[in-house]
Chains A and B, each alone.
Chain A
Amino acid sequence: MAEVPYIAAIEMAIHGEMERDDSVLYFGQNIATTENDKFLQAFGPDRVRVTPISETAEIGMAVGAALAGYRPVVELYMAEFMLVAMDQVVNEAPRFRYMTGGQVTVPLVLKAGYGFTAGWAGQHTGTIYGMFMGVPGLRVAIPSTAADAKGLMATAIRDDNPVAYFHHYLLTLEPGEVPDGEHLVPFGEAAVRREGGDVTIVALGYMVGQALAAAERLAGEGVQAEVIDPRTLNPLDTKTILESVDKTGRLVLVDQATRHGSASAVIAGEVADEGFSSLKAPIKQVTALEATIAYSQPMEEFVLPDEDKIVGAVQQVLGQAPVGA
């Protein structure tokens, strides 16, 4: 166990999997541009390739290589760059196995950073994983800690399905304890980050940290919040969420996405559908406001969920603050 930054944990996983399995390829824009790049040095220019700014070709090529038995990891830097190649991400990679009647598998990983709400303005800050969680055949991972960043990436590379792997840019340098050597985090198993009996907070990605900070503050007021980090959106561990809601009777969801494009809306729907009788209060969602992220910092902060907004939402579902306040 060593303390390493989140981004280094992701690289450890890719490096480890490339060492373990010759069929893992790594390519994308701006990688391996110097001879002393550690991936290039370790694995050579056949397996590690810099590409032009051609997202469609990069991802399409990954599909073709995956059909031929390779396991490509595509470095996309910004999640928004995937939008350039939505045909490949949505219509080719995840549908191929099913459309061929199971003749093929398409094991590839799309590594995409998201949510860079640090003055990167309208086109590099989106929290867009919700757009992908409903695509049949596509796995979606959203690590919130350095350990999970490593473990989910290793699992993603070994998975036989295409995986959209979303890492949050504000976590990039965040250090965390990361297990040495092989470390795999299974898909579809939520982590209960904090136990509590009064309210369930399901937080996604970067919002897990915000929710834990809010939970600490609430504990000072005598409210025990249970904080759940789903870790993957597809598969989604609804069982853990429903069990927690059954215990607490109250649910607050926290997602940096705009409300109607959020994953939290889907989770809220699942709980309303499957766990309505457990609820003692309406489900409350804390999401970004319906706006493009502004450049100006106060405006950026106004739009985003934060600790205060989470505390306020918990107080509402507990009846300690008026709904709509």
Chain B
Amino acid sequence: MPAALTPDRAAGVLRTMWLIRHFEERVGVLKRADQVHGLIHLSVGQEGVAASVCTQLRDDDPVYSGHRAHGHALAKGAPVERVLAELMGRDDGLCRGLGGSMHLVDVEHGFMGATGVVGGNIPMALGSALAGRLRGGDQVAVVFFGDGAVQAGHFNETVNLATLWGLPLILVCENNGFAEFTPRSAHTNVERVSDVVAPYEVERQTVDGNDVLAVWEAFGGFLAHARAGNGGPFLLECLTHRLRGHYEGDPGKYREAIAKADWQDKDPILRLQRHGVAEGWFSEADAAAIEREAGEKIDSAEKFARESGFPDEDLLASLVYAD
């Protein structure tokens, strides 16, 4: 049975989204202040997908993501102070400062891998799904990717094999309409990612990715089937909007900024808040407290990260190869 979005769970999703929003905005600030060293891709505006999907999963469900992975890692349970420390290149970072923004991994929470090469994560999730099947457990593998990855061979090869072998894999496409700096229309004639997999008869759905209720319900349905061993793979296409550029510092000349009023209508966080208050799931004051607590968590995460040292050079000798 799919898990219903109870008031408690809705508050949990809201909490996760606010955490991601504040995290991403703080990273933007720290990037401009030169405290974050490298290439950064933020997911502001797309929080609804990460939160609605990951808060339904268990630690032993392997999740993969791509270069825009901060939100997925946080939603899957990676400790926020260690994610921020990683972005600041510190030894207390999730990956001891050796991976950075594009390679976040937290094995303890089943966040198995973010990869920096578009599409590279998709067949790895296939391997996790195969491993789950071989073990005979009920784990479900999930991979997040953007619409840009769908035109890569990785995607079609994976869909073919996962279908052939009926593996417990949920493919979650965050379709924000842009593959890096290029609109989808310049890459393909196929408008909907869910149409790409039609010949494989993959069970699929396209939803408004900024509507938490829709993402929760569609993903929850797929998850219940996959968990019970009823078919697979599944494809969930979430239409969403990335509020910032492809990377931090992107001049964004390839598109027009969304009007503020339009964004108020689209913002997944404000939408869930309005809905939750109207339904009596939580009060406006509760929502404000959730936001405030998220901000405070980011403050203490930043303090933690700033106090952490940089990785020791000895790490190199011990980590390039496994003994």
Contacts and interface: CB of A to CB of B under 8 A. Distances in A.
A47 B130 CA distance: 10
Given A60-B158, A70-B131, A104 B123 contact: no
B281 to A, nearest CB: 37
Contacts of A68: 62, 127-128, 131-132, 135
A182 B320 CA distance: 28
A57 B158 CA distance: 6
A96 B320 CA distance: 9
B97 A64 contact: no
Contacts of B153: 54, 56
A91 B120 CA distance: 9
Given A62-B127, A68-B131, A91-B117, A101 B161 contact: no
Interface in B227-278: none
Given A99-B95, A101-B94, A104-B107, A60 B322 contact: no
A104 B108 CA distance: 11
Contact of A99 (B103, B122, B134): B103
B161 A52 contact: yes
Given A56-B154, A91-B117, A92-B115, A64 B125 contact: yes
B160 to A, nearest CB: 6
A57 B156 CA distance: 9
A87 interface: yes
Interface string B95-120: 11111000101110000110111011
Contact of B120 (A60, A62, A99, A100): A60
B142 interface: no
Interface in A21-55: 25, 46-47, 51-52, 54
Given A97-B320, A102-B315, 16 more contacts: A46-B134, A47-B134, A58-B123, A60-B126, A61-B123, A61-B161, A64-B126, A66-B127, A67-B128, A72-B127, A99-B95, A99-B103, A100-B95, A100-B103, A101-B93, A103-B106
Interface residues of B, number: 48
B317 to A, nearest CB: 11
A67 B319 contact: no
27 contacts: A56-B123, A57-B158, A57-B160, A60-B120, A60-B123, A64-B62, A64-B126, A64-B141, A65-B128, A65-B130, A65-B131, A66-B127, A68-B62, A68-B135, A69-B131, A87-B120, A88-B123, A91-B117, A96-B105, A98-B98, A100-B95, A100-B105, A101-B94, A101-B96, A101-B99, A101-B319, A104-B107
A145 B103 CA distance: 40
A137 interface: yes
Given A96-B113, A97-B319, A101-B319, A52 B160 contact: yes
A67 B315 CA distance: 21
A97 B323 CA distance: 12
Given A52-B161, A61-B124, A64-B124, A105 B131 contact: no
Nearest first, the 7 A-B pairs at minimum CB distance are: A64-B127, A60-B123, A101-B96, A68-B131, A57-B157, A160-B322, A54-B157
B189 interface: no
